Structure 1
Amino acid sequence: MEKKVIHQWKRISLVEERVELPNGKQITHTTIAHPGAAVILPIDDNGNIVFVNQYRPSLRKWLLELPAGTLESDEPIEVCAARELEEETGYSANEIIPLGQVTPLAGFCDEIQYLFVAKGLSKTSRYTCDDDEVIEVLHISLAEIEQMIINGSISDAKSMACLSKAKLCGYI
Structure 2
Amino acid sequence: MSKLIHKWKQLSLIESDIELPNQKKVTHTTITHPGATVILPLFSNGNLLLLKQFRPSINDWLYELPAGTLESGELPLDCAMRELEEETHYSANHFQYIGELIPLAGFCDEVQHLYIAKELNKTSRLTCDDDEIIEVLSLTISEVEQMIIDGKINDSKTIACLSKARLCGYI
Fold conserved between structures, TM > 0.5? yes
**What is aligned with 1:113?**
112
**What is aligned with 1:62?**
61
**What is aligned with 1:49?**
48
Structure 1 residue 7 displacement after superposition: 1.2
How far apart in 2 are the matches of 1:78 and 1:141? 25
Q: Which stretches of structure 1, 4 residues or more, deviate above 3 A after TM superposition? A: none
**What is aligned with 1:131?**
130
How far apart in 1 are the matches of 2:4 and 2:83? 28
**What is aligned with 2:157?**
158
Where structure 2 has 5 or more consecutive residues not aligned to the other structure, the ranges are none
**What is aligned with 2:92?**
93
- Structure 1 residues 3-26: Cα deviation after superposition (integer angstroms, max 9, x where no partner): 211111111111111111011111
- Structure 1 residues 20-65: Cα deviation after superposition (integer angstroms, max 9, x where no partner): 1011111110011001000000001221100111111111100000
Structure 1 residue 146 displacement after superposition: 0.6
TM-score norm. by structure 2 comes to 0.98
**What is aligned with 2:11?**
12
* Identity among equivalent pairs (%): 63
**What is aligned with 2:76?**
77
Structure 1 residue 135 displacement after superposition: 0.8
SS at match of 1:80: helix
How far apart in 2 are the matches of 1:56 and 1:5? 27
How far apart in 1 are the matches of 2:112 and 2:32? 13
Matched residues, number: 171
Paired AA for residue 30 in structure 1: T
How far apart in 2 are the matches of 1:13 and 1:57? 20
**What is aligned with 2:103?**
104
How far apart in 1 are the matches of 2:115 and 2:8? 26
Q: Does 1:149 align with 2:151?
A: no
How far apart in 1 are the matches of 2:54 and 2:119? 27
How far apart in 2 are the matches of 1:88 and 1:3? 36
Structure 1 residue 162 displacement after superposition: 0.5
How far apart in 1 are the matches of 2:3 and 2:54? 32
How far apart in 2 are the matches of 1:10 and 1:134? 20
Paired AA for residue 5 in structure 1: L
* RMSD between aligned residues: 0.7
Structure 1 residue 78 displacement after superposition: 0.4
How far apart in 1 are the matches of 2:133 and 2:3? 34
SS at match of 1:30: strand
- Structure 1 residues 53-84: Cα deviation after superposition (integer angstroms, max 9, x where no partner): 11111111000000000000010100000000
Paired AA for residue 158 in structure 2: S
